[in-house]
Amino acid sequence: MFSACLINDPFGDPGVYIEFKYRRSALLFDLGDIHRMNPRKLLKISHIFISHTHMDHFIGFDHLLRVCLGRDIHISLFGPPGFHQQVENKISAYTWNLVENYTNDFALHVTELHPDRKLVRHYHCRTAFRPEIEKEAEEFDGALVAGNYFSVKGEFLDHKIPCLAYRFEEKSRINIKKNALEEMGLPVGAWLIELKDRILNGDPDDTPIRIWRKDMALGVGERIIPLGELKEAVVKITPGQKIAYVTDVIYSEENSRKIVELADASDLLFIEATFLHEDAEKAAQKYHLTALQAGMLARRAKAKRMVLFHFSPKYKGAGNLLVDEAMRAFNGQILLI
Ligand SMILES: [Zn+2]
Ligand SMILES: [Zn+2]
């Protein structure tokens, strides 16, 4: 279970925060101005996916560094060609002579993506963020993270520079039937997280699951039930949600094809709608989409829902025009010829 939302209003810096409920974990797409985010939310972030390093997508790096410094946190960052150098440039703007004494070792694991390969460097606070370079490049086929409960893919698009769009995919959703738990006399508790992880892992049905509860009156109670029995009785499995994040792209045939493929049947498509279509020429000059183009792409991708952002400041106070135009295209009421 997770929630996904924009980190700023549609006129602010782009970015989407995905927060997993019941887990101390979150993801971020783009790292623009994040001052409005609660630091507690920032401290949950485990992965950050950067589309490109124009300022409005990367200026939040320093703030994040400051919030996380001195904490036992590891963050994986992904970004476009040249990303390592840019991270190192930011880090080298500060003096790091006292950090070896820190008890916790904040670390960044940074993957620089190229159309055909990915390169990884590690930066640890206690060694003054000196880069540890992984020599072997890995082939890049779109896959970035393939975890137990979600995966993320990246796709290169054209913004006059390489710009990455991303697709987040939740693994099957495992819902617990509360009534069934009650009927079996089983408590709600941390053991349910282990149960879900084991199901997602595909563990065998005879795996023993330890169910325990700490009760003020009764002390610690424990029961062991095989995984298969619990799967049958207390669990309902539904397909996971898919979210796509697309920003800063020109409307071209190649970009459109890639966006439609990446966002195919997404439950939620976050897509930029920077200009009104009457300003299509300006949009093309600046390598951005118009609201109409965004709506059409969402329609072609058969996205269930579309969220618009990255509105140009020239429409301040008239954001509804961008939304209306995109929605009409999304619903098939207007078409681009
Ligand atoms: Zn931008
Ligand atoms: Zn840009």
Query: What share of the chain in percent tops pLDDT 90?
Result: 79
For the stretch 106-134, pLDDT in tens is: 999 999 999 999 999 999 999 999 999 99
Q: How far apart (Å, rounded) are the C-alpha atoms in residues 120 and 137?
A: 7
Q: What is the number of the ligand closest to the CA of 313?
A: 1
Distance 283 CA to ligand 2 centre (A): 12
Q: Which pLDDT belongs to residue 188?
A: 87
Closest residue by Cα to residue 271 from 307, 323, 311: 307
For the stretch 183-211, pLDDT in tens is: 988 888 889 988 988 988 889 999 999 99
- The alpha helices in the chain, defined as continuous H runs, are 39-42, 61-68, 83-91, 178-183, 191-201, 227-234, 253-262, 280-285, 291-300, 319-330
* Phi/psi at 267 (5° precision): -75, -30
As given in the structure block, the two tokens for residue 101 are 């004494």
Identify any residues that bridge with 208 across adjacent strands, giving them in sequence order.
Answer: 226
Distance 251 CA to ligand 1 centre (A): 15
Q: Which pLDDT belongs to residue 201?
A: 84
Q: What is the number of the ligand closest to the CA of 274?
A: 1
Q: Is 277 exposed, middle or buried (0-12, 13-18, 19+ CB in 10 A)?
A: buried
As given in the structure block, the two tokens for residue 175 are 């819902």
Q: Per this entry, what is the length of the chain?
A: 337
Distance 118 CA to ligand 2 centre (A): 22
Distance 112 CA to ligand 1 centre (A): 19
**Full-model pTM:** 0.86
- pLDDT < 50 positions in the chain: none
Distance 116 CA to ligand 1 centre (A): 24
Distance 285 CA to ligand 2 centre (A): 12
User: Which residues are within 8 A (CB) of 147 and not within 5 positions of it... i.e. 6 or more apart?
Assistant: none
Distance 54 CA to ligand 2 centre (A): 5
Distance 233 CA to ligand 2 centre (A): 50
Q: What is the number of the ligand closest to the CA of 310?
A: 1
Distance 273 CA to ligand 2 centre (A): 13
Q: Which pLDDT belongs to residue 104?
A: 86
